[in-house]
Amino acid sequence: MLRRSWKPIAAVVTVAGPTYYLYATKYSKATFEIPVRVKASDGKTEMSTRTLPLLSLKELEARMNERASTHVNPRPGGIIWKHTTASLPSNDPIEDANCHQILQRDDTDAQHPGDYLFFAVMDGHGGYHTSQVLSRVLINAVALELSQLVTKPDSISSSKGGLYGSAKSYLFGSPSQPAQNLAGSDTMAVTVAIQNAFAKLDNELINAPLRVLANNIDEESRKSKIIPDLSQHPLSLTAMLPAVSGSCALMALFDTANRDLYIACTGDSRAVAGVWEPSGNGDGKGSWRVEALSEDQTGRNPDEMKRIQSEHPADEADYVIRGGRVLGGLEPSRAFGDARYKWPRAIQETLNQAFLVGNNKPMRPPPSLFKTPPYVTARPVVTHRKLFFKPTTDEKALRFLVLATDGLWDQLTSEEVVSLVGGHLAGLKGSIPKSTLPDLIPTTSGTPTVDGKEKNSTKGSVEDGSWAFKDENLSVHLIRNAFGGGDELALRQRLSIPAPYSRRYRDDVTVTVVWWEEGNEAEAKVSTFSEALKSKL
C-alpha cells in the first residue's frame, strides 16, 4: 500500500502569452520611425508614420530580465536539474503564462527515489484570462488525473464527468494540493490520462458560465424564456472571460523513476530537444541532434487539416480551414477556451446577453461559416521519449529541452535554437557570426519540425548578422537572439516599439529551458510541501 507517494517540493506559477516584418527606419541618436496602420477620418485604414524613442540597451536588457528566473534542484540519485524561464511582452498586459512543479516520491514507494517534474508554457490569445487560469490549475489537473491510475484504473476511459467538482470551487478558488499517488510506467495509460486531464479541464472552463446561469435563473424566467441580466453577478466575468478568450498549452512531464518524458501539446507552441551524440573517438567532440517533440497545431499542419475535415460534414471540407486558420479566423487548431468555436450559436447569444452586454464587453459573433461546432479541441497530442541520465560512449541522452510559445519560433528555427543552447552550454562568449556557429556547434537532423506558420519570405538569411552570447539566463539568451542577437541597433529598435504597435513586429514570448547534469547526491536537499509554502510567505 502506498503512503503519500508524492510530495510537492517546488512549485512556481508565473503569469508572463507576429511574424517579423522588415521595416525601414530613420535612425537618429534618440528616435526612429515605423509605419503603422491608423483609421482615417472616413473610417478607412491607412498607413502612417510614428516616431518613437529609441530605448537604451541597458533599459531593454532590464526588460528582458524582468520576468526571468533560474532554478537549480539537486535531486536524490545524483542528478541536478536546472531550468530557466523568461517572458517578454508585446501585448499589454502580456497574454503568456508559465508554471512548473516538482513532486517527489515518498520513501515507501517501491520506485523511490524519483520525481515527477512538470514544466508548462501557455500562449494566450484574445486576452490573458485563459492562460492565467491554466497557469494555476493545469499541472494540478494532470496530477489529479494521473492519481486515478493508482486508485481508479478504469477512470481514464472517459474525458467527461464531475471529477473536478464545481466550476466555482475548482476554477475560481485557491489551487489545491495535487494528488499524491501518481501513475507508474504504463506509457499508454499515462498518455491517455494526460489527454483526459486537458480535455476535462477545458470542459470545466467552457461549462462554467452555463452552470452559473443555471443556478441563477428562476422557474418563471425559464418558462418565459427571459434571459436574466447577470452582469453584476460576482462570477459573471470570472466565468465568462476564461471561456471566451483562449490559450495554447505545452507541458513537459519528466518521470525520473521510470525514465520517461511526455510532451503534451495543445496549440502552436513547440518543444524541441537537443540530444548530445558523442563522436565515439573519446575526444569529447560530437554534435547535437535536433529533435522536435511536438507539431505546430494549425490548419497549415496537414494532419490537423485532415482531422478537422473528418470531424465535420463533407460540405464544410472546403472552408473549415481557410488560409491555415480555423474557419479563416483562429490560427491554432487546438486550444483551451475559444468558446466562439465551441458553443452552439444559440448558447453564445444567451450567455453574451446574460453576462457580457451589461458589462459593456459584448462577445464577438461566431465566424460567418460557423455551422457544426465544436471546431476546436483542447485534447493534446502527447509524445513520449525515454531518458538516459548518465550517458556513456554508446548511449545517446536527451540533454536539454526547450519549451516556447510561438513568439520565439516566429523568429528562430528549431536548429538555430538547439545551436544557441548548445553553444551557451559549451561556454561560448561574445559575438559569433551566424555563418560560424554551425562549425563551432554542429547539429544533425532528428525528428523534423512540422511548422504550422506561414513563413515570411523577407526574413534575413541565416548567414547574415551575428549571434550574441552574453546572458547567463538561457531563456533570456534565446529571446535576445530572436530579436537582434549581436546587432544591437536592430535589437533596440524592435524592443523599443510599444504596444499596440509592437504586435505587428513581434508576439509575446515565453521560453523555458530544462537541462540536467550529474551532481553530488549528498548535495540533494528535499523540501516538503509545507516548507515550500513557508519559503514564499
What is the DSSP code string of 53-68?
A: E---HHHHHHHHHHT-
| Cβ pair 129, 122 in contact under 8 A | no
Cα separation, 34 vs 53, in Å, equals 11
The pLDDT, as a whole number, for residue 394 is: 47
Cα separation, 186 vs 191, in Å, equals 9
| pLDDT: which is higher, 415 or 219 | 415
**pLDDT greater than 90 at residue 75:** no
The pLDDT, as a whole number, for residue 154 is: 59
The pLDDT, as a whole number, for residue 114 is: 82
The pLDDT, as a whole number, for residue 42 is: 82
Question: What b/e sequence results for 415-436 when a residue is b if at least 16 CB atoms lie within 10 Å of its CB, and e otherwise?
Answer: bbbbbbbbbbbeebeeebebee
Q: Does the domain formed by 6-42+60-536 have CATH 3.60.40.10? A: yes
**pLDDT greater than 50 at residue 227:** yes
Cα separation, 105 vs 119, in Å, equals 18
Q: How far is CA 185 from CA 81, 146, 516, in A?
A: 21, 11, 21
Quote the strand ranges of 260-349, DSSP E.
260-266, 270-278, 286-292, 321-322, 325-326, 336-337
C-alpha cell at 29: 541618436
Q: How far is CA 520 from CA 76, 172, 386, 388, 524, in A?
A: 9, 42, 23, 17, 7
**pLDDT greater than 60 at residue 290:** yes
CB-based burial label for 274 (10 Å; 0-12, 13-18, 19+): buried
Cα separation, 537 vs 531, in Å, equals 10
Cα separation, 235 vs 17, in Å, equals 24
Give pTM, 2 decimals: 0.88
DSSP symbols for 253-268:
EEETTTTEEEEEEESS
Segments in 354-473 forming alpha helices (H)? 406-409, 414-425, 437-440
DSSP symbols for 440-468:
HS-EEE-SPP---SPPPTTSPPTTSSEEE
Q: Are strands 321-322 and 325-326 parallel, antiparallel or unpaired?
A: antiparallel
Q: How far is CA 330 from CA 202, 239, 267, 375, 415, in A?
A: 17, 22, 11, 10, 27
CB-based burial label for 513 (10 Å; 0-12, 13-18, 19+): buried
**pLDDT greater than 60 at residue 355:** yes
The pLDDT, as a whole number, for residue 157 is: 46
Cα separation, 511 vs 403, in Å, equals 6
The pLDDT, as a whole number, for residue 274 is: 95
Closest CA to 98 of 426, 404, 484: 404
Query: Is residue 148 very low, low, confident or very high in pLDDT (cuts 50, 70, 90)?
Result: confident
| Cβ pair 289, 275 in contact under 8 A | yes
Closest CA to 117 of 279, 294, 256: 256
| Cβ pair 511, 409 in contact under 8 A | no
> 3-state DSSP: the chain helix, strand, coil percent, rounded to 5?
30, 25, 40
CB-CB neighbours of 299 under 10 Å: 23
Report the percent of the chain where pLDDT is more than 70.
80
DSSP code at position 377: B
Query: Is residue 4 very low, low, confident or very high in pLDDT (cuts 50, 70, 90)?
Result: very low
CB-CB neighbours of 45 under 10 Å: 9
| Cβ pair 405, 265 in contact under 8 A | no
Amino acid at 274: G
Q: Rounded to a whole number, what is the distance in angstroms from the first to the last CA of the chain?
A: 34
Give me Rg for the CA atoms of the chain: 24
DSSP code at position 379: P
**pLDDT greater than 80 at residue 110:** no
C-alpha cell at 433: 557570426
Q: How far is CA 45 from CA 39, 81, 270, 391, in A?
A: 4, 51, 34, 59
Tell me the pLDDT tens digit for each residue of 383-407.
999 987 765 444 567 789 999 999 9
> Which residue has 540530444 as its cell numbers?
275
Tell me the pLDDT tens digit for each residue of 442-501.
999 999 999 888 765 444 445 689 999 999 999 999 999 999 999 999 999 999 999 999
**102 beta partners:** 10, 117
| pLDDT: which is higher, 103 or 378 | 378
Cα separation, 98 vs 27, in Å, equals 36
Q: What is the dihedral of CA 229, 235, 241, 247, to 10 degrees?
A: -150
**pLDDT greater than 90 at residue 356:** yes
* Beta-carbon contacts of residue 18 (< 8 Å; ≥ 6 apart): 410, 503, 504, 506, 507
Closest CA to 480 of 514, 511, 437, 449: 511
The pLDDT, as a whole number, for residue 398 is: 75
CB-CB neighbours of 49 under 10 Å: 10
